[in-house]
Chains A and B, each alone.
Chain A
Amino acid sequence: MRQIGFLVNPFAGMGGAVGLKGTDGLLEEAKKRGAVPLAPARALAALRLLRGSDIHFLTCSGSMGEDEMKEAGITTYSVEYKAPEMTGADDTRNACRIFLGHAVDAIVFCGGDGTARDVYDIVGTHVSVLGIPAGVKMYSGVFAITPAAAAEILNTAGEVGVRDAEVVDVDEEAYRHGHLRTTLYGYARTPYIPERVASSKQVFEQPDEERAKAEIAQFIAEVIDGTPEVLTLLGPGTTTAKIAQVLGIKKTLLGFDAIRGRELVAADLNEGGILALINDEKKWRLIISIIGSQGFVLGRGTQQVSADIIRKTGIKNIIVVATPYKLSHTPVLYIDTGDSALNASFGDHIQVISGYRIAQRKRLFQPDY
């Protein structure tokens, strides 16, 4: 029987309905504006679709999980964390600590980006994490598309894979003022069902994530080996980390690291560091991956790369990498450098390296918000 930690952030998503663009720190204001809890219903929608009883849930009391279990008619659960009436980020973290102490196989939570961040703080990559979407903002990659999709993943035991998923931190204060500022917070592990497009007996399968990353990394490593004089700035992400690994270099997961051939030149560079470094260079390139479930190539989670750096580097020296799975879930990619003329200069399509000597042509949009 699988042991799964389950928690609900009952207040997630309340701010959105009343125009607050997030609920972090504004719960009272949301309530004052007439917001009602949304997350319990989303959690219930997922729980009601679960089949069989090979899961034992470890959950929290009251609306943080127990109430939803009862309402869904689930009996195979135990309450392991007693939640106060007014729950907050600390309760999410405490519950996760307890789940990990019970050696759960995975943790399922219902909430938004803020909840994902709180879960990730404690869980990291120890066990896989799956989000039932209920928040105002869901830029993190740990969320299933819908509560039903989350249930399907839980029902498909034994056939699911595990992939890396960005946990993205959104600056809510800036967001309320119309600016989406996201920072890559970390990489969690999340279960997923490998893509299958089946029609009659004909099935196409995508390579799994690890294989796809290895193929991309092998190709890019060959490119770097073939041009040992060129400085390469490797952006954040597990695909770029895999490239570094193939080259025998240890890379910071969330930072921009500079390498030349198989040597690390500088790690975790900020904008100033990158500018100082390229100032003396004749030729350099940027290798970046797609950030977040929204498909941002530049501008979200890659704040180290300013419009100035992109202009100096030149679009043709920017290599974008992403696995086929990621690309199949992001039909359109976005560029948001903060400079609309620069955004436009990328054109309508962008080439993304998706395998060994293979690229995909993806449509590119520049968001107007």
Chain B
Amino acid sequence: MQTKILLDEEQMPKKWYNIQADLPTPLDPPLHPQTKKPIGPDDLAAIFPMELIKQEVSTQRSIDIPADVQDVLRLWRPSPLYRAHRLEKHLKTPAKIYYKWEGVSPAGSHKPNTSVPQAYYNMKQGVERLATETGAGQWGSALAFATMLYGLKCTIYMVRSSYTQKPYRKSMMQVWGAECIPSPSTTTKSGQAMLAKDPETPGSLGMAISEAVEDAASHSNTNYSLGSVLNHVCLHQTVMGLEAREQLAMVDDYPDVVIGCVGGGSNFAGISFPFAGDKLTGKHRDTDLIGVEPASCPTLTKGLYTYDLADEAGYTPLLKMFTLGHDFVPPSIHAGGLRYHGDSPIVSRLVHDGVMRGISYHQSEVFDAAQTFSRTEGIIVAPETSHAVKGAIDEALKCKKSGEKKTILFNCSGHGNFDMSAYDAYYAGTLVDYEYPDELIKESLARIPKVP
């Protein structure tokens, strides 16, 4: 009874999979926030290195992973694929549950899969410093790790509610030499404006993005780095799905269901795009690809598919995506990394086209699932990851009812070792189940900038 399915280092993917090559029609282009016209590479050059801009718009199916980046990724990759025998037994399900375990990275999550290449390309272009935002701190710590490797400075705007909730993520960033500032802050104009509007705001990813973009745009030695949403970020994360597909092939299996949690979408993209590609190209037409999001921030399930800003202040291009409105400040749930108003344009497009689908859960039920997982498989997962765990358990329970022997794969994207206060709240019975009152909010979405 094999539990861990492992690849050798030589089997680590040498190329990322670019799903843009397999989309039936091209993505709707990002638009300039003022002119509402499609943006070109020059518009992005102020804050991104050219290699990443090229990847953002590339339709080439496979893109080489630089050898230097592969060297770093080998510190923890290929990551293990686990067969969740104990969870299956506990659930009494005929389904087979596999999980890709990304908590083995130095930062404890899947985020270094993209922070490393992003830091690398910026270093190659002579950039001295990166500015970014972070929600729960997973991304911030991952970029701090990557910039340290390549000798770059790093400034991280951390959503204020997480800054106070998760002090140890901040400590990790410090260990790796980065500067961490609670957002909104007084160091940027957009932060000052947000604080003037609401001095007590818990902050949001949208606000923190504005600050980081402003920082990058106003310092010539500084570029911006984004931990999710964008096409190149999803591209870098495909190493997870590519490895998982190989690992499943080693045990002669292929998933019927692929599950990941969704905040900005790159985690789900990373695990699912190689399988979505198989679906789009007709190799496996019936795979069910499920993105799990919080009921308090249900972008895919209750948002509108339209052009919206990626940030609060309006510095970013307009992206065609599922959105709850760029001025929506999601409630301070423990899964801080899933508190984002929008979603990856590619994931959004695939959900809109019915290739993938979204589901949502309340906070307390995902912690129920996380507890079940910890008590069977041992790993204490991050609150974000617990959404995927809940999705996988529910699919397995459906199989128990129907008797189907489906193969379920989910991305176990990070450990929750710095999230114990969230578990404390769960055991104290003080978790609040937030909801998004979508019917009432429909009118408010009229504020989204109109695109001619």
Tell me the residues in window 196-250 of chain A with beta carbons closer than 8 Å to chain B beta carbons.
197, 199-204, 207, 211, 219-220, 222-223, 225-227
Of B236-244, B250-258, B433-441, which stretch is located at the interface?
B433-441
Q: Mark A316-337, 1 if CB is under 8 A from B, else 0.
A: 1001000010011001000000
Given contacts A199-B421, A356-B329, A360-B433, contact A223 B167 (CB under 8 A): no
- Is the CB of A127 closer than 8 A to any CB of chain B? no
Q: B164 and A359: CB pair below 8 A? A: no
Residue of B whose beta carbon sits closest to that of A357: B441
Report chain B residues within 8 Å CB of A327.
Answer: 432
Q: B432 and A360: CB pair below 8 A? A: yes
Report chain A residues within 8 Å CB of B437.
Answer: 351, 353, 357-359
Tell me the residues in window 418-452 of chain B with beta carbons closer than 8 Å to chain A beta carbons.
420-421, 424-425, 428-430, 432-437, 439-444, 446
Candidates B332, B435, B446; contact of A361 at CB < 8 Å:
B435
User: How far, in whole Å, are A354 and B200 apart by their CA atoms in the complex?
Assistant: 16
User: How far, in whole Å, are A105 and B306 apart by their CA atoms in the complex?
Assistant: 55
Q: A357 and B436: CB pair below 8 A? A: yes
User: How far, in whole Å, are A207 and B202 apart by their CA atoms in the complex?
Assistant: 10
Given contacts A222-B444, A359-B437, contact A197 B430 (CB under 8 A): yes
Q: B200 and A211: CB pair below 8 A? A: yes
Q: B432 and A202: CB pair below 8 A? A: no
Report chain A residues within 8 Å CB of B443.
Answer: 222-223, 225-227
- Is the CB of B362 closer than 8 A to any CB of chain A? yes
User: How far, in whole Å, are A49 and B421 apart by their CA atoms in the complex?
Assistant: 31
Q: B424 and A360: CB pair below 8 A? A: no
Given contacts A199-B424, A202-B166, A204-B165, contact A357 B432 (CB under 8 A): no
Q: Mostly helix, strand, loop or mixed at chain B's interface?
A: loop
User: How far, in whole Å, are A187 and B26 apart by their CA atoms in the complex?
Assistant: 60
Report chain B residues within 8 Å CB of A316.
Answer: 439
Residue of B whose beta carbon sits closest to that of A324: B432
Report chain A residues within 8 Å CB of B33.
Answer: none
Residue of B whose beta carbon sits closest to that of A207: B200
- Is the CB of A112 closer than 8 A to any CB of chain B? no
User: How far, in whole Å, are A201 and B421 apart by their CA atoms in the complex?
Assistant: 9
- Is the CB of A295 closer than 8 A to any CB of chain B? no
- Is the CB of B13 closer than 8 A to any CB of chain A? no
Report chain A residues within 8 Å CB of B315.
Answer: none
Report chain A residues within 8 Å CB of B328.
Answer: 357
Q: B433 and A202: CB pair below 8 A? A: no
Given contacts A357-B437, A358-B296, A359-B435, contact A204 B444 (CB under 8 A): no
- Is the CB of A355 closer than 8 A to any CB of chain B? yes
Q: A319 and B296: CB pair below 8 A? A: no
Q: B329 and A223: CB pair below 8 A? A: no
Q: A219 and B440: CB pair below 8 A? A: yes
Give the distance to chain B from A198, nearest Cβ to Cβ, in Å: 9
Residue of A whose beta carbon sits closest to that of B166: A202
User: How far, in whole Å, are A201 and B429 apart by their CA atoms in the complex?
Assistant: 19
Candidates A199, A319, A331, A360; contact of B440 at CB < 8 Å:
A319
Give the distance to chain A from B328, nearest Cβ to Cβ, in Å: 6
Indicate the size class of the contact surface on chain A: 20 to 34
Q: Mark A292-318, 1 if CB is under 8 A from B, else 0.
A: 000000000000000000000000100
Report chain A residues within 8 Å CB of B29.
Answer: none
User: How far, in whole Å, are A116 and B6 apart by their CA atoms in the complex?
Assistant: 69
Report chain A residues within 8 Å CB of B177.
Answer: none
Residue of A whose beta carbon sits closest to that of B201: A207
Q: A357 and B167: CB pair below 8 A? A: no
Report chain B residues within 8 Å CB of A197.
Answer: 424-425, 428, 430
Q: Mark B155-190, 1 if CB is under 8 A from A, else 0.
A: 000000000111100000000000000000000000
Report chain B residues within 8 Å CB of A202.
Answer: 164-167, 421
Give the distance to chain B from A193, nearest Cβ to Cβ, in Å: 15
User: How far, in whole Å, are A197 and B165 apart by their CA atoms in the complex?
Assistant: 11
Give the distance to chain A from B291, nearest Cβ to Cβ, in Å: 21
Q: A226 and B446: CB pair below 8 A? A: yes
Candidates A200, A226, A319, A355; contact of B444 at CB < 8 Å:
A226
Give the distance to chain A from B70, nearest Cβ to Cβ, in Å: 38
Report chain B residues within 8 Å CB of A328.
Answer: 430, 432
User: How far, in whole Å, are A75 and B397 apart by their CA atoms in the complex?
Assistant: 67
Tell me the residues in window 284-324 of chain B with beta carbons closer than 8 Å to chain A beta carbons.
295-296
Give the distance to chain B from A220, nearest Cβ to Cβ, in Å: 8
Give the distance to chain B from A207, nearest Cβ to Cβ, in Å: 6
Report chain B residues within 8 Å CB of A201.
Answer: 167
User: How far, in whole Å, are A327 and B444 apart by their CA atoms in the complex?
Assistant: 25
A and B contact pairs by CB, cutoff 8 A, 20 listed: A197-B428, A199-B425, A202-B166, A204-B165, A219-B440, A220-B440, A222-B443, A223-B440, A223-B444, A227-B443, A319-B440, A324-B432, A328-B432, A358-B330, A358-B331, A358-B435, A360-B433, A360-B434, A361-B362, A361-B433
For the complex with contacts A223-B444, A361-B433, 18 further pairs of A-B residues with Cβ separation under 8 Å are A197-B424, A199-B420, A199-B425, A201-B167, A202-B164, A202-B165, A204-B164, A207-B200, A219-B444, A223-B440, A319-B440, A327-B432, A328-B432, A355-B331, A357-B329, A357-B444, A361-B295, A361-B362
Q: Which B residues are within 8 Å of any A CB, using their own CB?
A: 164-167, 200, 295-296, 328-332, 362, 420-421, 424-425, 428-430, 432-437, 439-444, 446
The 4 closest A-B pairs by CB, nearest first: A226-B443, A202-B421, A361-B433, A359-B435
